Homo-oligomer: A and B are copies of this chain.
Amino acid sequence: MMSRKVPVETQKSPYALLKGLEISDVHIYGFLGDYLDRAANVTLPSMYEMLEKEGRIDNLRFASGKKKGTFKGFRFNDTDVHKWAEAVSFLFATKVDTELEKDLDCAIEEIRAAQDEDGYVDSYYPKDKRNERWTDLGWSHEMYCAGHLIQAAVAHKRVTGKNSLLEIAKRFADHIDSLFGPNKKPELDGHPEVEMALVELYRETDDPKYLKLADYFVRARGKGYASSSKYPGITREYFVDHKPFVELDELVGHAVRMLYLCCGAADLYLETGAEDLWRALERLWHDLVEKKMYITGGCGARAEGEAFGKEYELPNMKAYTETCAAIASFMWNYRMFLATNDAKYVDTMEQVLYNGLLSGISLDGKHYFYDNPLESDGTHTRKEWFECACCPPNIARLITSLPGYIYSLKKDDSAVFVNLYEKSTANISTRFGRMTLLVETDYPWSAQIQVRVIDSRITDPVAIYFRIPGWTRDFSVRINGEDINVQLQNGYAEIKKIWKTGDSIDLSFSMPIETIQSHPFVEENRGKIAIKRGPIVYCAEAADNDFEVRTLGLPKVPQLQFRCESIPVLGKIVSISGHGFAQDMKNWEGKLYIPTEKLREDKPVEARFVPYFSWANRTRGPMIVWIRSV
């Protein structure tokens, strides 16, 4: 089978309705395009320097014996290299970069050299620690590392056509398959990840043993194989090993582990159509979006155990909302979408992408958040790197694969789906011929989208489905200047015709500033509102406001205006401003509680709000998303 340059390959998946358009067929120039450019120019080169500086590549050299020394840092540190390699591979679908290519080939060579004869490769367990391999699967992250290696290898193969990394990954996967699975060692990695990787390896190689192994790893979970009594004080929930996956009815435990497992289970569903998996996935998805997701799309409320909280447990200042959990949610929702073509999943992808996911990387492209709280006293700042550096390369691989998520095709190439709106071109091969779309928009700052067919070889009617975002209340569609009525199907507007060069579609979504209330059981948000416009959640930051933003109140019916402007560091964004009230902190000196009528009235202020994803790029200071309604 020909490799297609996609982040998730469902071309032959029996239970997928859709497949992605190849990354190389989509060029992005807008809001997301800026991130892609920065990834190419700043993020990925600087990250390779960090991999060298922090000893991540050296760990591999120590393992191969190319360099003298011993492993440094967390045992899963190889994955920083693997995720970076995956990110660079995806980048190569749209950009040529000989420097990065050299770095990537060098990294692959270090991985290859570190591989043992039996296929094992994990620099924490070099040859002289061979006896310790697979003895501590709850904590060892060995399959987790294998998973990231496989994902990198599959991306590398799909984009570059090279087998160098894939061969390494296959040998490691074969080694794992020789040890684990039905009637072999009844064990599991404490950190899910290998499941979705194995499904992709199956898709890439057509070898069913990988799918079988993925199925085993998903279904054997919950039997205590990963979370034996060896880990006192750590719950089985932490390892997502407290119940079989198909019995789960709520998201608990370590958020990234849980969501990666959901990705793996969804991939497995796309191949097998197993109803029990799907029912569990749907239950968990409802639990996410109805009870455990921040308005920024982030999730995993608790720092303790990096875990999901109870339902409606969504503190703002203490929100953990790891960048990796946001990425995992995006990846899971995409798989749910491929199975259903239901826009509600893309709505969730959009919600997390433009808010709690891209907040994880700075606007200079080389500083990161590990956790993405929705309120700050000013002490939460971005870092260049982390001892546990899972988030930076994870967000890099997500960014470089972004072009692959924007459009989809029906599996039989009979229809096109426009999922995310981004200034872009897309070369689309349908079963009735090729066409090229040019999308022009200032999305997410504007919801005016002009789609032009700049070249068409279409011979028969082809449907284009445009996602009508869940946040909009009304919209209009014009074809070649004429308004048309469209029906929504699963949140998509269908337009079907024989597309001609020069055809144009104008989409317009109403995108007023909205004030949002959250479920009353979220104690932190009770009596408060958040500001949203289109997909963008706003915050008030000290950098824009000369009062203590945490005291800000807005009137019940706030008069808010938006303005497209260029702000130093932030660049061109839409800011929002309006009249509000703030408290004088002098009244509170040395006091924790004051009778209400002893307080002087709030003083009137003019407040400015900026997109949440852009916070903490300027002067350090307090930040707030949920604002009391006064």
Contacts and interface: CB of A to CB of B under 8 A. Distances in A.
Contacts of A293: 592
A376 to B, nearest CB: 11
A315 B465 CA distance: 45
Given A317-B313, A318-B313, A595 B515 contact: yes
B630 A596 contact: no
A352 to B, nearest CB: 13
Contact of A629 (B375, B527, B588, B594): B527
A486 B407 CA distance: 81
B290 A517 contact: no
Contacts of A593: 295, 516-519, 530
Copies of this subunit: 2
Looking at chain A's contact residues, the main secondary structure is mixed
Nearest to A628: B527
B519 A592 contact: yes
Given A313-B317, A599-B517, A592 B524 contact: no
Contacts of A528: 526-527
Interface string A487-519: 000000000000000000000000000111111
Given A523-B315, A524-B523, A526-B528, A291 B516 contact: no
Interface string A593-611: 1111101000000000000
A550 B514 CA distance: 24
A521 interface: yes
A310 to B, nearest CB: 8
Contacts of A295: 593
B375 A517 contact: no
Nearest to A515: B596
A574 interface: no
Looking at A313, A520, A523, the one whose CB has the most chain B CB atoms below 10 A away is: A523
A553 interface: yes
Measured as residues with beta carbon below 8 angstroms from the partner, the interface class of chain A is 35 or more
Interface string A550-591: 110100000000000000000000000000000101001011
Contacts of A595: 514-517
Contacts of A516: 593-596
Nearest to A597: B515
B317 A523 contact: yes
Interface string A273-316: 00000000000001001110101000000001000000001011
Nearest to A286: B590
A128 to B, nearest CB: 25
A391 to B, nearest CB: 22
Contact of A527 (B317, B521, B527, B588): B527
30 contacts: A286-B590, A289-B592, A290-B590, A291-B592, A293-B592, A295-B593, A313-B318, A315-B315, A315-B523, A315-B524, A377-B521, A514-B595, A514-B596, A515-B597, A516-B594, A516-B596, A517-B593, A518-B592, A519-B591, A519-B593, A520-B550, A520-B588, A523-B524, A523-B550, A526-B527, A526-B550, A527-B528, A527-B629, A529-B596, A530-B593
Interface of A: 233, 286, 289-291, 293, 295, 304, 313, 315-318, 375, 377, 514-524, 526-530, 548, 550-551, 553, 583, 585, 588, 590-597, 599, 626, 628-630
